[in-house]
A = this chain, B = another copy of it.
Amino acid sequence: MTRKKVKLAYIEDLSSRKATFRKRKAGLMKKMYEISTLCGVDACAIIYSPFNNEPQVWPSNEGVQDVLSKFEELCEIDQSKQKLNQDSFLRQRIRKTDEQLKKQIRLNREKELSQIMYRLLSGEILHNLSIDDVNDLQTKMVRFRKDITMRIHSLEEAEGHPINGN
């Protein structure tokens, strides 16, 4: 029942640490309640513990969310010069990913063109094997190949650099 002055350092012993945590957490929550009642202020606290799965909060889960949304709002306004906050960062990332996706889809459509042309062309070859058609076919193919090559080049230039996954 004697008590020496508590040494302010991590309590190595698990059970004493746990006991201390439980007691002090209760005390802290009480103090939070008192200051907000006595002084009429909004306040919240969040404490993570290895002993509880859920974070320990005051005044309540919802109360905390209210208070911290207010906090984040203030941070956003005040820290406009600082780095973008999480939310706008995410939005920015979405925008970029969306743009990439749209480019890929556009690119795909172009590639599908040459794919379809290949199919048509090979079909054409297969069903028009007479020697008389070869010169005509050759002309068609030269034109088509030139066209496709140009399309691909202009696409690649538009992309600037190859797009890689992730």
Contacts and interface: CB of A to CB of B under 8 A. Distances in A.
B131 A165 contact: no
A124 B147 CA distance: 17
Interface string A43-76: 1111111100011010001001101111110110
27 contacts: A9-B38, A21-B35, A21-B38, A21-B41, A25-B35, A31-B31, A35-B47, A43-B47, A44-B46, A45-B46, A69-B86, A94-B94, A97-B97, A102-B166, A105-B163, A106-B165, A114-B118, A115-B115, A115-B152, A118-B148, A122-B141, A122-B144, A122-B145, A123-B145, A125-B125, A126-B138, A126-B145
Contacts of A25: 35
A9 B37 contact: yes
Interface residues of A, number: 90
State the copy count for this chain: 2
Contacts of A40: 10, 17, 50
A157 interface: no
Given A107-B108, A114-B118, 15 more contacts: A24-B34, A24-B39, A28-B28, A35-B47, A42-B47, A68-B71, A87-B87, A98-B166, A100-B101, A101-B165, A115-B115, A119-B145, A122-B145, A126-B142, A129-B134
A90 interface: yes
A38 B131 CA distance: 92
